[in-house]
Amino acid sequence: MINRPSFLPDPPIGLHGVIGDRRTAALVAADGTINWLCLPIYDAPPAFGALLDPDRGGAWRMGPKVPAFGRQRYLDASANLVTTWMSEAGDLELTDTMAWPWDNRTPSDGDGDRRVVLRRLRCVRGEVAAVLEIAPRYDFRAGTSVSRVPGGLAFDLGGYRLGFWVSRPVDAGEDGARATFRLTEGEEVWAVLDLGGHPADWSVELARDAMAEAARYWHDWIGKLDVSAAGKRAERVGRSALTVHLLSYAPTGSPVAAPTTSLPERIGGGRNWDYRYAWVRDASLSLTMLIRLGETTASRRYMDCLTTYRSSTESPLQIVYGVGGELDLPEHKRTDLAGYRRSLPVRTGNRACGQRQLDSLGFFAECALAYLEGGGHWQDGYWEMVLRAADYTADHWTEPDNGIWELLTEQHFVSSKVMSSVCLDRAARIAQEIGHRAEAARWRETMEVIHTDVMEHGWSERLGAFRQRYEADTLDASALLIGIMGFLPPDHPRLLATADRIAETLAIDGFVHRYLPGELPEQEEATRPLGEFEGAFLPCTFWLVTTYARAGRLAEAERILARAEANAGELGLFAEEVDARSGQFLGNHPLLFSQVEYVRAVLELEAARRHA
């Protein structure tokens, strides 16, 4: 019997790389353990879930016999992840990837339903004792059965069957498999886990070819981007863009917000959410970023999909969908699991699908305009979608909503009013460009009304800054969108005063928190001070960098950006939040929103340097 692989439990969130095939993604801890992989798609139950329960979740470790954290990096400009362990006896190198990440598969390269993880463990120096241990668990359940089949093993998880091929003999147990090896310089062990295929399909040559094909795909994709505007950070910007592409769902082009659920915003707390879905805001931001780097194909595919989506709310687009366009994402809480470092509950689904967030349509309209101005092929269906979004915004901007942070209580959030204006501005510019001048004029009239309203009711004399919501003197980092989205010019005195107040009040060592917890409308856990309610929100931190860069405060912007980069390390991956006191990542990982706002901050800082 295989109890559980001998991995290091509860590894820091930042000590994880991500691999994927643009249908699902796996997290690989720095000890060589795949501790998170949902099959067959991002939001399915996990086959490996030890990240959220070390005992009941499945895991698959390859590496030195005694577990230890190694150094992780990506192989050149690819999503092939390399983990290296160095010791006196010798050095081991583990390479992980998933096969066939391109858009349209054929039967010869895996068809649409197969999911294949490829792993190669190689001794690069000396002689090293190594191990392979695997124990899949469908949705944290016991009962995996193992059988020998031609070419290897089959794991029957109840929900599906996984083929398992290894280039060396392994011992099968009741619920997993294990093998130990003594590897000398140049020797390798290959392993393939295949959903939808058979072990007999694989050989060392075929596994090596599939790994090389995956690396070539990622290299060719990133080679089509223009990252020259990022200057000395071009490689890091390319990595963020590649991560965005990796987290896309190939059948639709829509990216998920993160590949994980329930990684906590506070260790031991209950702020644990499921981000394995497609937020219109995050997708729009991501695709706008890719357009800025010269890639419009993904945006076209996403816009095509959006034209077919319905909405379960009164808004023409609901704020979040399942990866296949599903409308209902019922939220469930699980308290029977351990949770990451005892942080409960573990959640699946997301209640935000039924909320009203007016900002979401602003980000969509921004993406649509970027696509049009970037030379994308415009279609009548896109205009109909923009028209519905802008008309809805013009009719409803005066109403309260749940805001960008998806709070439970609807309020008149300033950032929602600002993004309503952004929606109308971008829609008007699209209308002007394609010959719908009457709509453009109508929307611009409403924009003027919104602008006057925000300047009157959104500004707090007591704070000396824009407020979070009308009739409340409380700060919110989302006020930085006022400058970032062009509602006010970057040197406007009110904008700069707001940025300084946010830096003074919401930041710890440059890392910006979203708000003061005691000033939330629902007053949840209001006694916790800044930094203990949740971590600093990395997208907000990058917003401050962008704001400072546009204002010409380059040294301050550079200092904050460099500190955030140090937390991302060599992998260049950003989680949702960071504990500003310890430097440890918090929240789901990697987060699309963080990767995108990092790219924006870099490009704005480099542009400001060129014009200084």
**Which residue type sits at 287?**
L
pLDDT of residue 172: 95
Q: Which domains does the chain have, with CATH numbers?
A: 16-221 (2.70.98), 224-611 (1.50.10.10)
Q: At 24, list the tokens.
A: 């699902």
Confirm if 183 and 127 have CB atoms less than 8 A apart.
Answer: yes
Q: Collect all residues with Cβ–Cβ distance below 8 Å to 412 and sequence separation of at least 6.
A: 400, 457, 469, 470, 471
- Residue 25: beta bridge partners? 20
Q: Is 12 exposed, middle or buried (0-12, 13-18, 19+ CB in 10 A)?
A: middle
The predicted pLDDT at position 268 comes to: 94
The answer to whether the CB of 411 falls within 8 A of the CB of 403 is: yes
DSSP string, 401-456: B-TTTT-SS-B-BHHHHHHHHHHHHHHHHHHHHHT-HHHHHHHHHHHHHHHHHHHH
Q: Which residues contact 289 (CB under 8 A, 6 or more apart)?
A: 241, 244, 596, 599, 600
CA distance 137 to 45: 10
- CB of 536 within 8 A of CB of 545? no
Q: Are 301 and 314 in contact (CB under 8 A)?
A: no
Return the pLDDT at 1: 44
- pLDDT value of residue 22: 97
Averaged pLDDT of the chain: 95
| CB-count burial class (<10 Å; 0-12, 13-18, 19+) for 187 | middle
Q: What is the maximum span of the chain, computed from C-alpha positions, in angstroms?
A: 75
- Residue 531 has a pLDDT of 81
Q: What is the pLDDT of residue 3?
A: 60
For the entire predicted model, the pTM comes to: 0.97
Strand partners, 28: 17, 34
The amino acid that residue 137 corresponds to is R
pLDDT of res. 387? 98
Give the per-residue pLDDT at 456.
98
- In the predicted model, residues of the chain with pLDDT beneath 70 are 1-3, 109-110, 522-527
Contact (CB, 8 A) for 575 and 585: yes
CB atoms within 10 A of CB 570: 11
For 249-287, how does the pLDDT look when each residue is reduced to its tens digit (9 = 90+)?
Answer: 999 888 999 999 999 999 999 999 999 999 999 999 999
How many C-beta neighbours within 10 Å does residue 462 have?
7
Residues in the chain: 612
Phi/psi at 39 (5° precision): -130, 140
Is residue 329 within 8 A of residue 350, CB to CB? The reply is: yes
CA nearest to 168, candidates 197, 153, 190, 201: 190
Q: How far is CA 564 from the centre of its chain?
A: 16
The three-class DSSP label of residue 495 is: helix
Distances (CA, A) of 313 to 317, 318, 417: 8, 6, 19
CA dist., res. 314 & res. 350, Å (int)? 18
Give the amino acid at 395.
D
Token pair, residue 309, equals: 């989506």
In b/e form, how buried is each residue of 52-89, taking b as 16+ CB within 10 angstroms? bbbebbbbbbbbbeebebbebebbebbbbbbbbbeeee
Q: Where are the beta strands (DSSP E) in 213-305?
A: 248-249, 254-255, 278-279
Helix 359-373 with 280-292: angle, nearest 10 deg: 20
Instruction: Identify which of 500, 510, 494 has the alpha carbon closest to the alpha carbon of residue 414.
Output: 494
